[in-house]
Amino acid sequence: MKAAELHRLVLERLSELVPSVAVRLRLVSRYVDPAVADASDAGELYLFLPDLHLLSAAGERRFRYGFRRLSEEKWLRRDQLLEALLERMAAASPTLRAALRVVQLGDFVDLWREARHGAKSPADGVRDIVGSFPRLRELLIDGAPASTLRRTILVGNHDLDAPKSPILRPLAARSAPLEIGGRVRALAIHGDLLDPIERTFDDDLKRWMLGMFGEGVEASTYRADRTREDVSLGCGPVGTAPRVLREATSTVLRSPSSEEIVNVWRTVEYEPSPLGGESEQANVERAEQMRIRGHRLMPLALRHARAMRDGKPSILAQHDLERPLPGLRTLVIGHSHWPRICVHSDARDPQNDVCIVDCGGWIENVHFGKKEDQDVVPSCCVGVVAGNDYRVYQLDPADALYSTRAPSAAAAPVMAAAPKKRRAPASAESPKPRSPKPRPRAPRGR
């Protein structure tokens, strides 16, 4: 089946969530990779669920934000939106289900935070957490009786010990090679191994900082629309701005055109040529800053991708890979909580090109307005890859899913109700994550 047809089928399923559990469906970013145009007839379809950071019903009350907690006085039943999404996919046509693989990108559970609640071991923590989400466990972990979804749950830095739990061990993996057009051209990983902060501080220090500052930290807000940013240093936005594909007030589904690029950040690296008598070191540093501006994980992504193509044993071992990936050019990640697609092109050697499909998260917030306090919504992002067409969607939760009361583990499903007026969550920041108040922030390792 052609990739375009697979994307159409997924888009229809996503749009069916509006208006019952979502008020709108947005296309955050899309990239059609011309270098793998031969994969347009791919039969593989991947749906990515980024960071959830699930906590037990008791554990999530300790923190000022989380999967279901937006602030001290506001809660959101993200679990019901996610359950509805998985139910739609499980009930899809046999043609779609045969091609579909669901990949959760790590930090499925948050054992760092749960340990602050008093979990005695990783196995106890996983048991307590998934016990607070019985329907989600049935769909994503156990596999509902009517579900034929193929599922993989990657390990992130916040649930690195999750495989010690018999509940998650059968599905857990450090990475997931992705076939595109019959060849492994992409790799799904959490992203923490590409994060210089994660690699600088050891786990004991990060857990100490979480204990000292974590419970008082507020949620961050990330800029979804990068098309307004300036082009400089050989990098900048390409394509059209993010758009709403369907709203609760309309039955019209606005699909993107066949080759349209949406909200992609691109960097192009040429042969070094120092400006104004710059030293070679200054030129190298400028090139590094260019990569970081696109995505702070890009420098290590380039090095790891090359090492995995070349079969470097130490890097393959970090990602639990048994053999080289000579066709690797795309990394699908979570970890940052900031949805975006970033493409790095090497004009000297196209074999070094790398695309990062960052699927964002189901935690914290994104804003689509020009200013960071405009058009702010809780993050509920989904990545979709079929052939050489990579997309990231955002589902804006329906009003009926918001509450001022903490949900219990066995809370009844929220039925669609007449829309209520609500204020969007206050923005926490501009694109660089920071608290809106002068509170100390610990490196959370995402």
Q: Is 161 contained in some domain? A: yes
Which long-range contacts (C-beta less than 8 Å, at least 24 apart) are formed by 301-305?
A: 301/194, 301/331, 301/344, 301/354, 301/356, 302/344, 302/352, 302/354, 304/193, 304/194, 304/331, 305/329, 305/331, 305/354
Q: Is the pLDDT of residue 360 over 60?
A: yes
CB-based contact 359:379 (threshold 8 Å): no
User: How much is the pLDDT for 415?
Assistant: 39
Query: Please, which pLDDT band fits residue 181 given cuts at 50, 70 and 90?
Result: confident
Q: Tokens in use for 249?
A: 């007030």
Asked which of 32-46, 106-120, 205-219, 407-421 is least confident by mean pLDDT, the reply is 407-421
**214-226: average pLDDT:** 86
Q: Is the pLDDT of residue 29 over 50?
A: yes
pTM for this structure?
A: 0.88
Q: Per the structure, how many domains does the chain have?
A: 1
Q: Is 163 contained in some domain? A: yes
Note down the domain range covering 47: 3-403
Reduced to 3 states (helix: H, G, I; strand: E, B; else coil), residue 405 is coil
Asked which of 184-198, 230-244, 328-342, 389-403 is least confident by mean pLDDT, the reply is 230-244
User: How much is the pLDDT for 273?
Assistant: 57
More confidently predicted of 375 and 419: 375
Q: Is 357 contained in some domain? A: yes
More confidently predicted of 403 and 118: 403
**35-64: average pLDDT:** 87
Q: Tokens in use for 100?
A: 């579909």
Assess whether the previous peptide bond of 134 is cis (omega < 30° from 0): no
- C-alpha dihedral sign at 292, 296, 300, 304: negative
Q: Tokens in use for 271?
A: 């042969």
Q: Is 221 contained in some domain? A: yes
Tens-digit pLDDT profile for residues 242-256: 999 999 998 889 988
Percent of the chain, pLDDT > 70? 83
318: left (phi over 0), alpha (psi -120 to 50) or beta: alpha
- DSSP state, residue 240: B
User: How much is the pLDDT for 88?
Assistant: 93
CB-based contact 377:76 (threshold 8 Å): no
Tens-digit pLDDT profile for residues 307-349: 999 999 999 999 999 999 999 999 999 999 999 999 999 888 8
Query: Please, which pLDDT band fits residue 425 given cuts at 50, 70 and 90?
Result: very low
Cα separation, 266 vs 33, in Å, equals 12
User: How much is the pLDDT for 148?
Assistant: 72
**197-225: average pLDDT:** 74
Q: Is 382 contained in some domain? A: yes
In the numeric block, the tokens 């193509």 are attached to 309
Cα separation, 298 vs 300, in Å, equals 6
Asked which of 69-73, 76-80, 263-267, 345-349 is least confident by mean pLDDT, the reply is 345-349
- DSSP state, residue 138: I
Q: Is 139 contained in some domain? A: yes
Q: Is 445 contained in some domain? A: no
Q: Is 67 contained in some domain? A: yes
In the numeric block, the tokens 């760092």 are attached to 112
Amino acid at 193: L
Cα separation, 380 vs 388, in Å, equals 23
